[in-house]
Structure 1
Amino acid sequence: MESEHHSGAAKARRGGSAHPRRADAERNIAAILAAAASCFGKNPNASMTEIAAAAGVGRVTLYGHFSSREELLSRLMERALTEVATVVDATDLAHGPADEALLAFIRSSWQLLDRNLRMLHAARQALPAEAVHGHHTGILSAMEQLITRGRQEGTFRDDLPAHWLVTTIYTLVQAAGDQVESGRFTSEEALDALEATLVSLLQRPAA
């Protein structure tokens, strides 16, 4: 029994339990993501070395959790768009006039997008277009449902395919972000221009 006791104590000293290691890993991942978001928010070209230093971890630890800059950007984009998806749910796109629901969604989600513009710009530069689009699938699906509802209500135009209108909205939102990133628009100006363009885009043609 004494031998078993000493064996168990030795195992504990060697870190036999996986829980402390798991907790350390979770703390490191959280620190890396926070540092990466901050670094990319200041500089879309931030390197993995800069991010490791900002997170207070070594490069070995950083690459142990994220094998590449692209993987890290993909995780950050996924996290940001999950927040946008939460806004979609909170906006309740299934009720109320479709045009009002669309503008409410654009305004509320723009705040999140604006906060992450440089990171999202970096992700779009580093990741394949298919991967970027894949992160938006849920949001785009909700948008297409809203467009379809607006057409049924007679609010939105029905002379163009719904999927084309959704693609155009998706492209315009990205373009608005790029205009802010380039300094051509302030965030407020970009949102105003985006709203005005979307209203014109979706408006039913005169009979």
Structure 2
Amino acid sequence: MAKTGTGQPVSGRRADAERNIAAILDAGTRLISADPTVSVADIAKAAGVGRVTLYGHFPSREALVDAVLDHAVNVADIMLADEFIETAPAPEAMARLLRSSWEVLDRHRRLFLAADRTLPTERIRQHHDRPLQRVRRLIERGRRDGDFRADLPLSWLVTTFFSILHSAAQECEAGRLEPEEAESVLIKTMLSLLTVPAEFPQP
């Protein structure tokens, strides 16, 4: 087995690096979700690594926030897997998806605010591509079943879902929307947008 200059097997060094990265991502998710201005030094300390080690994996705060956001979104996507969302009537499934999405987003609200301040908007959207495929499939199904409107572009409706969730987080952080009201507001807003307008026939 190949060894490093210190005599440590390469595989062992790789395992150490993977453990350090996992610890940094976990600590970053926890600390940035509590305080979006937390220092890199504090994250390194919470992860049990030195700043040099952290910067060896994530060379800038932007790179660290980017990786932490990706980690949080991947965990959220796993949590959003729900057979009810895949099989229930589209309006009920959309309400469930919004509740679950808001539960995750509210828990990590300040992490997403930190990402808004640090990363380009398009980069944040790219991180959400996989979860938003779940939204796309649901809206497509609702349109096929006649439950959701088909006179607006599908991509626009998916973008609106993404946008109102993040706007709700910003409104709650600014004190203009009570967190306990956000879930109901989100469901009413999105379903009112998706409902087939009575005065317009479907294409």
TM-score range, shorter chain: 0.7 to 0.9
Q: 2:64 aligns with which of 67, 72, 82?
A: 72
SS in 2 for 1:109: helix
Residue in 1 that maps onto 2:182 = 190
Letter in structure 2 aligned against 1:58: G
* Aligned residue type for 1:90: D
Partner amino acid, structure 1, of 2:120:
P
Is contact 2:33–2:109 with CA below 8 Å preserved after alignment?
yes
Whether 1:164 and 2:162 are equivalent positions in the alignment is no
Q: Which is higher, the Rg of structure 1 or of structure 2?
A: 1
Q: Secondary structure at the match of 2:149?
A: coil
Q: Which residue of structure 2 lines up, in the alignment, with residue 94 of structure 1? A: 86
The reply on whether 1:47 has 2:42 as its aligned counterpart is no
Amino acid at match of 2:86: A
C-alpha contact 2:24 2:44 (8 A) present in aligned 1: yes
Task: Decide whether the 8 Å contact of 1:91 with 1:104 is kept in 2.
Answer: no
Runs of 4+ in 1 over 3 A off after TM superposition: 11-14, 91-94
Q: Is the 8 A contact 2:29 2:72 kept in 1?
A: no
Q: For structure 2, list consecutive stretches of 5 or more residues without a partner in the other structure.
A: none
Per-residue deviation, residues 131-186 of structure 1 (Å, max 9, x unmatched)? 11111112222212211211121111222122111111111011011122223333
- Count of paired positions: 198
Shift of 1:48: 1.5
Instruction: Point out the more displaced range, 14-23 or 136-145.
Output: 14-23
Q: Indicate conservation of the 8 Å contact 1:91/1:105, yes or no.
A: no
With 114-123 and 14-23 compared, the bigger mean Cα shift is at 14-23
Q: TM-score under structure 1 normalisation?
A: 0.85
Q: Is the 8 A contact 2:70 2:127 kept in 1?
A: yes
Deviation at 1:70, TM superposition (A): 1.4
Q: Identify unmatched segments of 5+ residues in structure 1.
A: 1-7
Relative distance call for 1:15 and 1:36 in structure 2 (3 A) is same
Alpha-carbon contact 1:44-1:118 (below 8 Å) kept? yes
8 Å contact kept, 1:87–1:109: no
Q: Share of identical aligned residues, percent?
A: 44
1:59 counterpart = 2:26: no
